[in-house]
Every structure is written in structure tokens, then in C-alpha cells.
A and B are shown apart, each in its own frame.
Chain A
């Protein structure tokens, strides 16, 4: 009987092709990526069928947490610096270069203006951890209105987006909307999660 010889094949695989693919994908992701902005709080937005996309830039965001604290944030490093300058002259609080830089990197914050300086003095990792009290929105001390007004002065193109937690009590939302309306902002966006349109 003839022997059946199994040809021994080398187990060495040519990796070049795989390497090519991997780097192609890597390049793609590196170019398309836009890092998730770090949010100081996580909120679960309610769902809606609306499919309007939020524009990429010129967004002024008002985040409202479950327990009714209000956070405020604007995008654009340059605009944030401008905004802080306006607040600084209005409230007569001088900010140092480091504080201004720290502010220009803050995507959203929820501290009253008098406490802003000490908040910005904290090291970045501590700033993330502390519980921020939220921006006052009472009628007697409505700092949100001040921020909105000065934000719009810093960049008139800002659109206002409200990111509210679904379980947030309505009176807070009512106050925020009333604040917006008192500054003649009658058009704004509510950030929601996408939900499938039900059949009717």
C-alpha cells in the first residue's frame, strides 16, 4: 500500500494583509472620531420620536439632573474664555490665568458665581468628584439668566439645548423655561433619546 503523505504546511501566516486592514480601520476611526464630551452628571433623557439632530457647534446646554440641579455649559474654548471675562467684569471677580484656562476646559458646571473661583482653583480630578450645588434659578437670584445673557453676548449664534432628566420634577423645568422666556428666548431644543415611531 502506498503511503499517503500529508504535506506539511507552514503555520506561518502572512500578517501583512491583516496589518493593512487594521491600520486602515485605525486611520478611519482616528479621523472620524469625536470624543464624547465628559459630562459632570449623567442624565437619562426621555424618549421621543423626534429625529432632528443637534448641530455640532454653537450649543449652549442647560442640563437638569434628577434632583433638580441645573448645570450650564457652552461649547468652544474661545467662547468660554470670552464668557468668563464678561462675568468677571460684571461681578467684579478677577480670575487668574489658570482659572480662566480651567474654565475654558469645563464643558458644563453647576456652581453659583460667587463660588466659581474656588471651584476653578480645585485640581481637575477633584473638580470632577465634588457634588456641585447647581446654578441658582430662583426669581430673587437667577444666575442662569445672567449666564444665558452673557453667553449670547459672547456668541450670538448659540442655540439653547435643554438636557433634562426624565424624572426631574416639572417646577424646575418651568423655572428654566420662564428664565429663557424672560430673556426672549422662545425657541429652544429639548434633547431626547430616539424612540421608534409607533404605528397609529
Chain B
């Protein structure tokens, strides 16, 4: 395949035999293949096929100063607050912080997720408020937000102001 037919066909010429040497045009393609595969490997290694995945979050719009503060509060009975503490601990309660009972859980499937599934089933239009404390890390926040999308809770917010009752109560847990 990779050679050309250089034989001129029969046809003896009488007289002087001026036989030019028939050089084979067969090229050894092995180094070329080597090179090609080397480059293929290089491009395969350096290429990025997968674009990074992202999570979209929308923060509540801060009302401009001076304007009437619109009431953004939700019904206490439909609100669950999740406080993200240090060392992968999670505190949660339903309702208002002064009366509610605080419980402790973690990020395992049987921890926060189970609780959220149960509460989401029993409460109509559940709103979750995620409050990361200063001691938790970024992964905890993403995990908590991720639980919302796993379970399908549509209304949730990331809030970082703490009520006094909340700080006091999580200290005792």
C-alpha cells in the first residue's frame, strides 16, 4: 500500500543494458506512527472535556436604604432553621428560636437528610433557613444547599444573622 510500483514493466531493450537501480519507495511508517501516537497522547492528557459543574444560588435582594422594608418573614410553623456548627455538627429546629427545641444531627444520609425528608412530607410549603456559624467551613454550606436540591425543597435561604436565643441555645448543645 505504501509503496509505488516503480517497475517499468517488461520491455527488454537490446543492446546496452543500462539498468538503473530500482529503489524501493516503501517507506517505513513506524516512526511516523510513533510520533502521531505521542501527539495523540499529549492532546488527550491536556484536554479538558468536562466543564466544571456549578450550583446556582440566588441571594435575597437587599432593599435599598430608605425604602419600606417588605415583610419577608414566613410562617413560623412552616419554617425550619438549620444551623451549621463547628466540626460538621448541625443544629436544627422548627418554628421560632425562643420556643423551639433544638436538636443535633450531622451530614450523613441518615442524619440531616432523613430529618428533612420527614419534615418536608409533614409540612406544606416548607421554608428552610440555613444559618452557617463562623466556625463551619465552606463544604458544610455546600452540603446543606445540596440537601435542599436532593430533597427538592424549593424555598430556602442562606442567612447569617443569628437571634440571641439561637446563639445561646446552641452553646448548650
- Which residues of A line the B interface, CB within 8 A? 14-19, 22-23, 25-26, 29-30, 32-36, 45-54, 56, 64, 161, 163-171, 173-174, 177, 180-181, 184, 186-195, 197-198, 200
Measured in the bound complex, the distance between the Cα atoms of B109 and A47 in whole Å is 14
Closest chain-B Cβ to A50's Cβ sits at a distance in Å of: 4
Q: How large is the interface on B (under 10, 10 to 19, 20 to 34, 35 or more residues)?
A: 35 or more
Q: Is the CB of A186 within 8 A of B60?
A: yes
Measured in the bound complex, the distance between the Cα atoms of B141 and A138 in whole Å is 21
- A-contacting 9-mer, from B7-15, B49-57, B91-99: B49-57
Measured in the bound complex, the distance between the Cα atoms of B29 and A169 in whole Å is 57
Which chain B positions have C-beta within 8 A of A23? Answer: 36
Apart from the given pairs A47-B142, A165-B138, 13 other A-B contacts in the complex at a CB distance below 8 Å? A29-B44, A48-B53, A50-B54, A50-B146, A51-B53, A54-B54, A186-B59, A186-B60, A190-B54, A190-B142, A191-B52, A191-B54, A200-B150
- A-contacting 9-mer, from B67-75, B129-137, B165-173: B129-137
Measured in the bound complex, the distance between the Cα atoms of B33 and A116 in whole Å is 47
* Interface residue? B4 (CB, 8 A): no
Closest chain-B Cβ to A47's Cβ sits at a distance in Å of: 8
Report the nearest B residue to A56, measured CB to CB: B51
**Known pairs A26-B36, A46-B142, A49-B146; A170 contacts B55 (CB<8 A):** no
Report the nearest B residue to A50, measured CB to CB: B55
Contacting residue for A19 out of B33, B43, B113, CB 8 A: B33
Closest chain-B Cβ to A119's Cβ sits at a distance in Å of: 26
Q: Is the CB of A14 within 8 A of B151?
A: no
Contacting residue for B30 out of A15, A167, A168, CB 8 A: A15
Measured in the bound complex, the distance between the Cα atoms of B142 and A71 in whole Å is 20
* Interface residue? B2 (CB, 8 A): yes
Report the nearest A residue to B158, measured CB to CB: A177
* Interface residue? B140 (CB, 8 A): yes
* Interface residue? B6 (CB, 8 A): no
* Interface residue? B163 (CB, 8 A): no
Q: Is the CB of A64 within 8 A of B1?
A: no
Q: Is the CB of A16 within 8 A of B2?
A: yes
Complex A-B: 16 CB contacts under 8 Å? A15-B29, A15-B32, A16-B1, A22-B33, A26-B43, A29-B43, A33-B47, A35-B47, A49-B146, A54-B54, A163-B52, A166-B138, A169-B135, A170-B84, A170-B141, A197-B150
Q: Is the CB of B53 within 8 A of A173?
A: no
Q: Is the CB of B61 within 8 A of A53?
A: no
Measured in the bound complex, the distance between the Cα atoms of B52 and A48 in whole Å is 11
Which chain A positions have C-beta within 8 A of B143? Answer: 46, 48
Closest chain-B Cβ to A178's Cβ sits at a distance in Å of: 8
Contacting residue for B138 out of A29, A50, A167, CB 8 A: A167
